[in-house]
Amino acid sequence: MYAEERRRQIAALTATEGRVNVTELASHFDVTAETIRRDLAVLDREGVVHRVHGGAVASQTFQTAEFTLDARFRSSPTAKSSIARAALRFLPEPNGGLFLDSGTTIGTLAEFIAEQPNARQWSIVTNSLPIALNLTNKGLPEVQLLGGSVRAITQAVVGDTALRTLALMRADVAFIGTNALTLDHGLSTADAQEAAIKSAMVTNAHKVVVLCDSTKLGNDYLVSFAGIDAIDVVITDPAAPESFVQALRDREIEVIIAA
């Protein structure tokens, strides 16, 4: 296992369990205690965990930091690809409609959607400028980009015009990305305007499929846009802690582990 993957799993464990122990982590990952201490030091510098004597505890603050699209695409690219492929099973029947929000994992899903035999028969609504351009450049005829203001950092369309349009729409499936997922706070993100768009998509879709890699489980961002009970499916990666996965399943949420 590469150090980056191990640290991603440590971050997910810390977020969901609240506290981790150096000795237990060393045994779990079959590495030395010193290796785990170095991992925790890296995660502490990144603000993901707080070092304490003998281990680390989860960061308790609501996060507000946002990253550029390029930075997001570089984060956990293998997990994003696997998660996006697993989401294809939830595509609607031909002539169905779907919402695609502005997450980077959703952008990867859009690439795969364009390759599907029924791609030209779906009606797709998105607030992502890159996704809309990508799908139309690949010849998909039924792609609607919501109107409004474009946020530079995420290239997502937001604002009242987009919200008014979404209020009139319904979709068979909403594919939603998120910055964070907790049992108490649900789905959350850093920006209130993007949260409003995501919330409208969730509200107006028959099925809500959340694409969420394990680094986001147990974390909290400032603005909650959907409660846990609004979710039908969560697709994540094998690093997701079993306790968190089981907690979701106990809430009758289908959890897909994308290998």
Q: In terms of pTM, does the model score above 0.95? A: no
DSSP 128: B
Confidence of residue 4 (pLDDT cuts 50, 70, 90): confident
Evaluate if residue 8 carries a pLDDT over 80.
no
Listed residue (75, 84, 77, 49) closest to 63, CA to CA: 49
Mean pLDDT, range 155-164, rounded to an integer: 94
Domain ranges of the chain: 3-58, 69-257
CATH dotted code for 69-257:
3.40.50.1360
pLDDT of residue 49: 81
pLDDT tens-digit series, residues 137-158: 999 999 999 999 999 888 999 9
User: What fold does the segment set 3-58 form as a domain?
Assistant: Arc Repressor Mutant, subunit A (1.10.10)
Mean pLDDT across 17-26: 88
Q: Do 3-58 and 69-257 fold alike per CATH? A: no
Q: What does the pLDDT look like over 194-207, one tens digit per residue?
A: 999 999 999 999 99
